A and B are shown apart, each in its own frame.
Chain A
Amino acid sequence: MDFTKIIPEATEEIFATMIFMEVTSDPALDQKPEVLGCHISAMIGLSGGLTAMLGIHCPEQVGLAIAGGMLGMELDEVDADVKDALGEIANMVAGGIKERLRDENIDLELAIPTAVAGKSYTISAPKGSNRVVIPFTLEQGQFFIEIKYHLN
């Protein structure tokens, strides 16, 4: 269960097939700050063989570019469509994780994604959770995909 491999694979597949933007993954962060300096986050819960929260965290301009790529239009404000688009990316990344972990005999169930936008928020996980944060770079800037999890 190597999330540093699984998350980039799943994310790059989504960007190549449905968003049509070039994205590169960077090495997982060693130092993992609680606040990633982002203004839009979409999250989805996973349960079953592990309990996890997967999130995608973006600065505003990056979130607008990603949602615009998905919808095929230019967007200039963070509205329900932008949050919905990022929620779908979280959903598809979680689906990619589910598919890959099935090969390791870990069965997962996915919840419904949710998204928040704001200028000052933190997202907490239960104490003792493992945490992996992968940065991704687009032409418009950087975003992060994070998973907080513990095995059941």
Chain B
Amino acid sequence: MGKTVLIVDDSNTMRKIVSRALRQAGIDFSTILEAGDGQEALGVLEANQVDVILSDINMPNMNGLEFLKAKSENPAIKDIPVVMISTETGADIIDEAKSYGAKGAIKKPFTPDLINETLGALL
């Protein structure tokens, strides 16, 4: 059975770019789900089986760190791996994301190769 990825970003454009980069990287997900912020992502995770999450940090309503924290407190979804994709690359923010369970971080702008390298180890 194919794998499912959830892309969380408030920018519709960036969600499309990440989807395209996954295809260009040769990572074959059978289903690509999208959410516009952390709150919406939690709703998607309640209703779907997801294998990996790619999440922005800087988002309205519920940002990426708040999303990670909420996810880490829910036993049903806390073990789904998350990779942050963000312009936020400060060690303090990445360390905070990792403390809530993030498995890696990709800086925007990014290349398909970088996506492949980061996700390859998780899939």
Residue in chain A with minimal CB distance to B57: A110
A71, B16: Cβ atoms closer than 8 Å: yes
9-residue interface stretch from B46-54, B73-81, B85-93, B97-105: B85-93
A13, B11: Cβ atoms closer than 8 Å: no
A92, B108: Cβ atoms closer than 8 Å: yes
Bound-state Cα–Cα, A17 to B90, Å: 21
Residue in chain B with minimal CB distance to A112: B60
A85, B89: Cβ atoms closer than 8 Å: no
B87, A92: Cβ atoms closer than 8 Å: yes
Q: Within 8 Å of chain A (Cβ to Cβ): is B31? A: no
For the residues of B in contact with A, the DSSP-based class is: loop
For the residues of A in contact with B, the DSSP-based class is: helix
Bound-state Cα–Cα, A88 to B110, Å: 13
9-residue interface stretch from A23-31, A94-102, A121-129: A94-102
- The interface residues of chain A lying within 8 Å CB-to-CB of B90 are 98, 102, 107
> A11-29, CB under 8 A of B: which get 1 and which 0?
0011001100000000000
Q: Within 8 Å of chain B (Cβ to Cβ): is A67? A: yes
Q: Within 8 Å of chain A (Cβ to Cβ): is B17? A: yes
- Whether A18 touches B110, Cβ cut-off 8 Å, given contacts A84-B12, A88-B14, A98-B87, is yes
Residue in chain B with minimal CB distance to A13: B109
- The interface residues of chain A lying within 8 Å CB-to-CB of B87 are 91-92, 94-96, 98, 110
Bound-state Cα–Cα, A130 to B108, Å: 27
Bound-state Cα–Cα, A67 to B15, Å: 14
The smallest C-beta distance from A114 to any residue of chain B, in angstroms, reads: 11
Q: Within 8 Å of chain A (Cβ to Cβ): is B10? A: yes
> B39-70, CB under 8 A of A: which get 1 and which 0?
00000000000000000001110000000000
Chain A residues proximal to chain B, CB less than 8 Å: 13-14, 17-18, 67, 70-72, 80-81, 84-85, 87-88, 91-92, 94-96, 98-99, 102, 107, 110, 112
Further contacts, 9 of them, CB under 8 A, given A96-B87, A110-B88: A13-B109, A70-B17, A71-B17, A88-B11, A92-B87, A92-B108, A92-B109, A110-B87, A112-B60
